[in-house]
Structure formats: structure tokens, C-alpha cells
Structure 1
Amino acid sequence: MSQSENNNNTGTTPGTAETGEPHGAAARRGPFRSGERVQLTDERGRMNTITLTPGTAYHTHKGFLNHDLLIGQVEGSVVENNVEQQYQALRPLLSDFVLSMPRGAAVVYPKDAGQIITMGDIYPGARVVEAGVGSGALSISLLRAVGDSGYLHSFERREEFADIARGNVETIFGGPHPAWKISLGDFQDQVVAQEAPGSIDRVVLDMLAPWECLDAVATVLAPGGVWVNYVATVTQLSRTAEAIRADGRFTEPDAWESMVRGWHLEGLAVRPDHRMVAHTGFLMVTRRLADGVTGLNLKKKAKAEFSDEDLSHWTPEAVGERAVSDRKLRRAARDAASTVQTKRTKSKNENAATETPGGPGDQ
């Protein structure tokens, strides 16, 4: 599938996609442009993200704001709608984007993505593979970490999820990322077929049964390389840890979860927020040992055992995964692709108008 192969923007100006529009770092600088996503904050602190489209307006129960008033404005401007309601306009941060982008599956929350990048030691230029792509939230963070000179190969079993992820990645980066390759199929089969043994620096798995990938991970991961697992339940965490210990080719796994609690700040009324982002998933990290080396046999008080009855209950529904309808997936894929296409069409029309005699470029 040609769209799933690694995309390299060769022969173009740095910071400019094949369509001529800014991408990457260049897309994050300068005035607001047509087709760009902008985060509006009203006077009560409520935020909404819109895609700038000439000739259209953002409507609320308190009037409307023409998109044309925002196009060309400097980031951080404050604008007024038709009834003098003020809005603060900024480009959405990564954390804002992943929570508002089209999705077919639950996204990896920013707090967990940050932990994966840091505790997994994902660095610029690293060669990384990941599996379950979902809606592409973690892929975006990994691509930012490895940079244009790095390499991220993502594996996804469902084509609908791959389409959604591709649209979201191209939206935030302004086009295909030069370090990204996405493939369809089961990770444990495809990764050993497509990646050379010992050629990968980091492996990140967000899937139902990561213990099934032990051999595949051990094959492609370089000695000293880091394997990060993101799982939802305690039972998944336990079985993955015991499988890693029994395998002997990895270090003793470390596991944790993170919780984020905001604070209310208003004069002397400084207190914790009533709401917090608590459990979203468990993270587990282990490292590949050298070939032929057996890991240290750390003393444990008890050894976990899993009965046949336990193993028969490993289904998505049993561990709390919510089923996603095909209709919702198709709609999310269309939304993600539409955002990219709208931006490209607007840019193409503006470039054509600039080059046409009598257009804006001749005034």
C-alpha cells in the first residue's frame, strides 16, 4: 500500500511540504494561515478548536466570529466577535490536539506519552517500532522525539485505525513525516519480516497481549535497547511481567502509573482541583540483554501461576476495552482526511490566486 510506506519530502525547501505550504517547525511559526487549526478561549476560559476557512464563521449562542478576522493575525491575539465577545487565539499545543483530534480508539493521554518518551529514553535519531497505532496520538509524540533524522515504524492490525492515524499525523505536521512508516498486520509477524535482527533501539507496545510478542521483540531489539509496554489492567501487567521474567532475555521489569492533579489558582483561594486525571494505564519498562546472557534471578517471595481458565478470559471485552463501531471508525477516518485535504486545497487555491494576473499578488 503506497500511502503506508515511508514518505520522504525530497526536492523541497526545508520546512515546506510538496504542496508548497509550511510544515513541521515552520508551520508552528508566523501568522495564522488558512486551513490551520486554532484554539479559541472565551472570557470564561472555555476552549474550542476550529480549522480556519475563508468565508466561514465560528458560531456560538453569543454571536459569531468570522474566520477571516483570524487569518493573518499574530498568534496570541485577542479578537472580538459581532457582539464584542472576546476570544484569545493560539495554536493548540500537542496535549490539546490529541484530546480533540478525530479518533477511532482511545488515545494515549499526554501524561503517559510524556512518561514513555522520557522513561523509554526516546532520543533524536533513534530507531523505534510501535504497535497498536490507534488514532496516532502516541505516534505523534514519538515522531517529535526521534525527529526528521530518526525512524518510527508503526504496526496496526486495522486499516481504519491506520487511516485515522495517518490523517492526524499529517494534520499536526503539515504533511507526511519523513521519519514515519506505517504497516498493516500483526506486529509479531511483520516486524521480524521487515526489520533486521538487532536493528531497533526502542520498542513501544500498546496492545492487549504484549507477552505474545516476546520473541519478536527479542529478535529486533538491540542489546541494551528499551522495551516499553502500555497496558490497561492489573492482570495484563502481571502476566506481561511474569512472561518477561520467565523468558530470561530481558532485565527485571519496572512498572508504574502516573496521576495528574491540577490546582485552582485564584487569589488566596489556592487548592487542588476537584477533578483529576487518575488511572489511564500502566507503564512497564525492561531492557534487552546481550545474546547468550541469562538475566539475574532476583529473589521473589512468590511465583505467579495462570490457570487454563485464567487464560481463556483474555478477550478485549474481559479487560475493559470498549468496542468501536465500523461506522464511527469510517467517520473518524473521513474527518482526519478531510482536515488534511481542506488545508491542501486552500493552500493550492491561494497559490493559484497569487500567480494569476490581477490576483492578490499583482495588487
Structure 2
Amino acid sequence: MSEPTGAARRRGPFQVGDQVQLTDPKGRHYTFTLEAGKNFHTHKGSFPHDELIGAPEGTVVRTTGNVAYLALRPLLPDYVLSMPRGAAVVYPKDAGQILAMADIFPGARVVEAGVGSGSLSMFLLRAIGDQGMLHSYERRADFAEIAAQNVERYFGAPHPAWRLTVGDLQDNLSDTDVDRVILDMLAPWECLEPVSKALVPGGILCAYVATTTQLARTVEAIREHGTFNEPSAWETMVRTWHVEGLAVRPDHRMIGHTGFLLTARRLADGVEPPMRRRRPAKGAYGEDYVGWGTAKDTGAADASEGGRRASGGRDTASGSDGRDTAPHGRDTASHGRETPSGGQETPSGDS
């Protein structure tokens, strides 16, 4: 039985063509590809690549300046933060959530739109394995070329489960019996019709968007479309900790908002989704709302009218004339972007 694509390059001694990640005494990372006869250069000296070829992972090498570097193969999260980029990458914290919450399983048939630099594609390919299918769509040819190079460099060869199409998902999606669809694009709501036709009943749609405006419009469009269950939306924040003796505290910096995720599941053909009883805040679907739904569509208007009748004109949420004392949820999501530091530096010289 042959090993999965790329597995042989994840274990054993270093070989020519392997990716190597060096860590210096300050914790900074340097990633390069091993080539026979080449040297790795820094401002702290150099050492020959041949010193690592054939050596086991976890080897410590010293430069001509007597500075020690720990040599390991980069993990996939390290690799995606150091690889060449044409577009912003899906960060590991979000990729992990996508794999878990979209339930990406071995052998799954997955469609991805918005490849960018290929970050999420690599996570998906590792999850589905050689027997799965990942069909990725990217509208920009330059991004697609960078992504293809990054994926092949990481796995050591073209992945047999991957097909990359340059073009819009809306115009080119012909796949059927798809288990999962992942959308990383500006307007996911424009793709709901072709996506619903491609997904099997019970299949999962997962969208990754950057702003609250995109999130709201996508959720309302999914509700309006009528072929999916009630969507779930969330974001993930990661905070590292400093642990030094008795000094145990959160680090001063954290990976905050990078994007919002939402998932919804495909209903069987001809099935209408049951109306979910929701209690929107006052004004959520008021006169200023210009989105996809209305107060009547969501049941908010009927609930509000019924409450007024039952209370003789008073708001039942507050129990007092015209005053709402019930606590409202506040939107605590950060609208700013914080780009996590990958700790990566580009080595100089001929490495």
C-alpha cells in the first residue's frame, strides 16, 4: 500500500528538496529548500546545506559565527505563513475551524472558490487524502499560478486529488454530488443557486467573509434561498500565553479578528425549511433595514404585535410603558484586522 501524497517527505532524515525551518536563539524562523552544494547565509554567518542533508530532524547546526540553529521540517501552519503570497492567506486558526465545523472527512468531494495563495487548499487536501476530490476555482490566473506552485512545493509533487480551474465559480461549476463547498470570496450570496445544485442533501456550505456587512448579507441570502437550514455564524480569536516560572499570564498580543465563518446544510429537494422562532432585537428589521429579509419574513412583526395585544399596548419584554429594560446583546466583534506575525524572515544569499 503506497503512502499518501507528501507523507514520505514528512519523516526520516533531511533530503535534497525538503523544506527546512531554522529557529535562531531569539525564536525567529527561517525557511528554505535544501539544495546540494548551496550555503545558508545570515548576518550571523553561514553554513552549507550539505551539513543537513542526511541528518535527522531536530539537528542543531552552527554558522561560521558560532550561532546555533535548530533544524526541523516546517509544520503546515508554519509553511503557509512563510510561503510566497499573491493574496492574503486563510490563517491556521480559521483553517482548523473550517476543517472541523465543515466536517471535512477522508474521501470527501469538496469544491473551493477563492484559492488565493493556496493556504486552505493544502489543509483541505491533507484532510480528504488521495481518494477524495478537491476542485478549486480562482478567477485570477496569477493567484492560481502562485497557489499551484505552493501546493506542489509542500507536497513534493502535484496532488492527485486536486483540480484547479481559473474562472468564476458561478460560470464554471459543473460538479455534482459534492459533499462540501467552501467559499472565500467577496460575494458568496451570488453563488447560492449553483452551490445548492451541486451539494448533496445534508451537504455543508461554509463561507469565509471579512466584514459584518458581508456576513449579514450572506446569512439573509441563505435564509431567503430556502434550500438550506438556519445558518450558524462565528469568529475565532487565539491568545497565546507567557509561561516563565511563576509568571504565567496572557501575551500582550493576540491573533484577533481575521474573518467570520458561517455554515449551513443543504436540505432535501422539495423540502421547505421549518420557520425558526427568533427574537430579533427591536429595530433589527426596522424602517432603516435594507437587507434581504423583513420583519414579517422573520416572524418578528407577528411576535411584536402579539406581545402588544397581550400587554394592552405595553412592551412585554420590558413590563413597562414603552421602555425596554431587557438586556440586548452587543456586537463585540472587532472590525479591525490584525495580521498575525508568522515570525518568518527571509534568508539572504544563495539559499
Contact 2:217 2:291 in 1 (8 A): no
Pick aligned residue for 1:146 from 96, 119, 128: 128
Shift of 1:83: 2.6
Rounded to whole Å, the distance in 1 between the matches of 2:17 and 2:179 is 36
Which residue does the alignment assign to 1:324? none
Matched, 1:183 2:165: yes
Aligned position for 1:195: 175
Structure 1 residue 93 displacement after superposition = 0.2
Aligned length: 292
1:102/1:201 CA distance change after superposition, 3 Å: same
If you compute each CA radius of gyration, which structure gives the higher value, 1 or 2? 2
* Residue correspondence of structure 1 range 235-254 to structure 2 within 5 A: 235-254=213-232
Q: 1:297-329 CA deviation, whole Å, 9 max, x = no partner?
A: 123434484279xxxxxxxxxx999xxxxxxxx
Q: CA deviation at 1:235?
A: 0.2
Report Cα offsets for 1:127-182 as digits up to 9, x if no partner: 00000000000000000110011000001111111111100110111100010011
Partner of 2:108: 126
* 1:223 partnered with 2:214: no
Distance in 1, Cα, partners of 2:224 & 2:186: 19
1:271 alignment partner, SS class:
strand
Q: Who is 1:4 aligned against?
A: none
User: Is the Cα contact below 8 Å between 2:220 and 2:291 reproduced in 1?
Assistant: no
Structure 1: stretches of 5+ with no match in the other structure: 1-12, 17-22, 309-318, 322-363
- SS of 2:95's equivalent in the other structure is helix
Aligned residue in 2 for 1:109:
91
1:65 aligns with 2:43: no
143, 147, 159: which one pairs with 2:141? 159
**SS where residue 260 of structure 1 aligns?**
coil
Distance 1:320 1:167, change over 3 A: farther
251, 269, 288: which one aligns with 1:273: 251
- For residue 204 of structure 1, give the secondary structure of its aligned residue in structure 2: strand
Q: How has the CA–CA distance of structure 1 residues 296 and 307 changed in structure 2, closer, same or farther, with 3 Å as cutoff?
A: closer
* Distance in structure 1 (CA, Å) of the matches to 2:164 and 2:25: 42
User: Where does residue 319 of structure 2 map in the other structure?
Assistant: none
Q: Please give the per-residue CA displacement for 1:194-249, whole angstroms capped at 9, x wherever unaligned.
A: 213xx100000000000001101110000000000000000000000000111111
Q: Counterparts of 1:351-362 in structure 2 under 5 Å?
A: none
Residue 86 (str. 1) matches residue 68 (str. 2): yes
Match of 2:187 among 209, 214, 237: 209
Give distance in 2, aligned partners of 1:169 and 1:274.
Answer: 34
Aligned pair in 2 of structure 1 residues 307, 252: CA closer, same or farther (>3 Å)? closer
Rounded to whole Å, the distance in 2 between the matches of 1:178 and 1:320 is 39
Q: How far off its partner does 1:56 sit?
A: 1.9
Paired residue for 1:96? 78
Q: CA separation of 1:195/1:307 partners in 2, compared to 1, >3 Å: closer, same or farther?
A: closer
SS in 1 for 2:256: coil
RMSD: 2.3
**SS in structure 1 of the partner of residue 97 of structure 2:** helix
TM score, norm. by length of structure 2 = 0.79
The one-letter code of the counterpart of 1:181 is: R
Between 279-288 and 182-191, the greater mean CA deviation after superposition: 182-191
Distance in 2 between residues matched to 1:306 and 1:36, nearest whole Å:
53
**What is the CA deviation profile of residues 18-67 of structure 1, one whole-angstrom value per residue up to 9, with x for unaligned ones?**
xxxxx510111111111211000112222111211222222222111211
Aligned match for 1:290, one of 252, 265, 268: 268
Instruction: Flag as ranges the 4+ runs of structure 1 deviating above 4 A.
Output: none
Does residue 306 of the first structure (1) align with residue 297 of the second (2)?
A: no
Code of the aligned partner of 1:172? Y
Task: Name the SS of the counterpart of 2:203 in structure 1.
Answer: strand
Aligned partners of 1:306, 1:256: CA distance in 2, in Å?
23
- Other structure's SS at 2:70 match: strand
- Structure having the larger proportion of residues in helix: 1
Q: Secondary structure in 2 aligned to 1:38?
A: strand
SS in 2 for 1:283: strand
Contact 2:257–2:336 (8 Å) recurs in 1? no
Partner of 2:316: none
Among 138, 152, 155, the residue aligned to 1:170: 152
Paired residue secondary structure (1:97): helix
One-letter code aligned to 1:306? V
C-alpha deviation, 1:14, in angstroms: 3.2
Q: Give CA deviations for 1:56-98 in whole Å, capped at 9, x if unaligned.
A: 2222221112111111110111111123211110000000000
